[in-house]
Amino acid sequence: MKKLIYLLLIAISWPSLAARQFDIEVILFKRNIDPAQVSEAWPDQQQPVNMKGTVSFDDESLLASKDISLMLPEQYQLTPQYNKLKGHAGFTPLAHFGWRQGDLSKAAAPKFHLTAGKDYSPQYLADGTSKAALSREAISPQPELPAVAESETVMTTDGMPVTTEVPAVAPEPPLYELEGNIRVYVQHYLFTETSLDLREPGRREVIVGAEPIDLETDLLAEDSNVQVGHLQEVKKKVEVEEFLKSYRFEQQRKMRSGETHYLDHPLMGMVIQIRRVEE
C-alpha cells in the first residue's frame, strides 16, 4: 500500500517537474587591454574550439522541436549591467542575448554556436595568417572553401557558341572576433558550459631561412660528410609578423536559479543569469 501511494505521488509531481522553464540571459564582453600586458602565456597556435554537434540560434525547426524560444530585448533583465559595461572605458560588450528552454539534461540540451564582434576574414586567414603579409610575399592564399563553377559562353573559330565551366572563388567564411559555443543543462543542479575563442590581432616572432635537420640522418649516417666537432655557430634570422591570435575561454559553472554569475578571464568575461519562469 505504501509503495502504491509513493508511486502515485511521483506520478502527480512529475508533470510539474517536466514543465519547468528557464530564461537564460547572457552578456559577453572583452577587456580593452593589450594581451601583451597580461602576465599570462597563451600558445600562438591552438586547436579550434570543438564545434561538433553545435546548432544555430537561427535553426527554427530544431528550437521548436525542443520547445526553445529566443528572448526579445524587452524581456532582458541585465540591460543595466550591459549599459554599465558599454559606458566603461575598460570594456567592450560583444553580445547580449537570451533564450528560454525547459528542464533539459546534458544529453538533450543543445550546444549553441556563438559568434560576435568584428569579422576579420578580409584581413586574415582561418589559421591567423595575415593576408597583407602574404600579398607582400607574392603568395596567393588558397580559398578555404571548394571553388564553385560558373558557366561562361565563348565563341569557337567556326562561330559556334560553346558553354564551359569556369572555376569561381567561393566566398570565405566569416572569421569572427568571438566564436565558440555555450550549453545550459540540468543535472540535479543547473550547469553552464562555455568554450569560446577571442581573436585579437597581434605580432609574433618567426625563424626564417632555417632548414630542419634530422640528426640521425644528417649527422650520424656512415656516409655523412658533416663534421660534428667545431661546428660554426649559425645565427638564426628572426622576423616579426602580424597574425590573428586566439585566446581560449573555457569554463563550467554550477549555478542556482535567479543568481547572476560572472565568469572571468584576463581578456574577456561573461555575465549570465538563469531565471526559473513562474507561471
Query: Does any domain span residue 29?
Result: yes
Query: Does any domain span residue 219?
Result: no
**In this structure, are 82 and 162 located in the same domain?**
no
Query: What is the rounded average pLDDT of the residues 127-156?
Result: 66
Query: Does any domain span residue 258?
Result: yes
Higher pLDDT, 261 or 150: 261
Q: Which three cell numbers stand for residue 62?
A: 530544431
Query: Does any domain span residue 56?
Result: yes
Write out pLDDT tens, residues 155-175.
Answer: 555 666 656 665 566 678 999
**In this structure, are 164 and 253 located in the same domain?**
no
d(CA 96, CA 80): 12
**In this structure, are 109 and 142 located in the same domain?**
no
Query: Does any domain span residue 218?
Result: no
Query: Does any domain span residue 36?
Result: yes
**In this structure, are 51 and 140 located in the same domain?**
no
Strand partners of residue 55 = 112
**In which band, very low, low, confident or very high, does the pLDDT at 68 lie, cut at 50, 70 and 90?**
very high
Higher pLDDT, 207 or 183: 183
CB 177 within 8 A of CB 116: yes
Query: Does any domain span residue 87?
Result: yes
Is pTM beyond 0.75 here? no
Contacts of 61 (CB under 8 A, 6+ apart): none
How many domains, in total, are found in the chain?
2
CB 89 within 8 A of CB 220: no
**In this structure, are 277 and 146 located in the same domain?**
no
* pLDDT value at 254 more than 70: yes
Contacts of 212 (CB under 8 A, 6+ apart): none
**In this structure, are 24 and 40 located in the same domain?**
yes
Domain span at 148: 133-172
**In this structure, are 140 and 68 located in the same domain?**
no
**In this structure, are 165 and 182 located in the same domain?**
no
Cα torsion angle, 67, 70, 75, 76, sign: positive
69-78 long-range CB contacts below 8 Å, 24 or more apart?
Answer: 69/99, 69/100, 70/97, 70/98, 70/99, 70/100, 71/23, 71/25, 71/97, 71/98, 71/99, 71/100, 75/23, 76/25, 77/25, 77/273, 77/275, 78/25, 78/27, 78/260, 78/271, 78/273
* pLDDT value at 224 more than 80: no
Query: What is the rounded average pLDDT of the residues 93-109?
Result: 96
**In this structure, are 26 and 141 located in the same domain?**
no
Query: What is the rounded average pLDDT of the residues 13-30?
Result: 79
**In this structure, are 58 and 143 located in the same domain?**
no
CB 246 within 8 A of CB 46: yes
Query: Does any domain span residue 125?
Result: no
**In this structure, are 144 and 82 located in the same domain?**
no
d(CA 179, CA 176): 6
Task: Note the pLDDT of residue 17.
Answer: 47
**In this structure, are 50 and 76 located in the same domain?**
yes
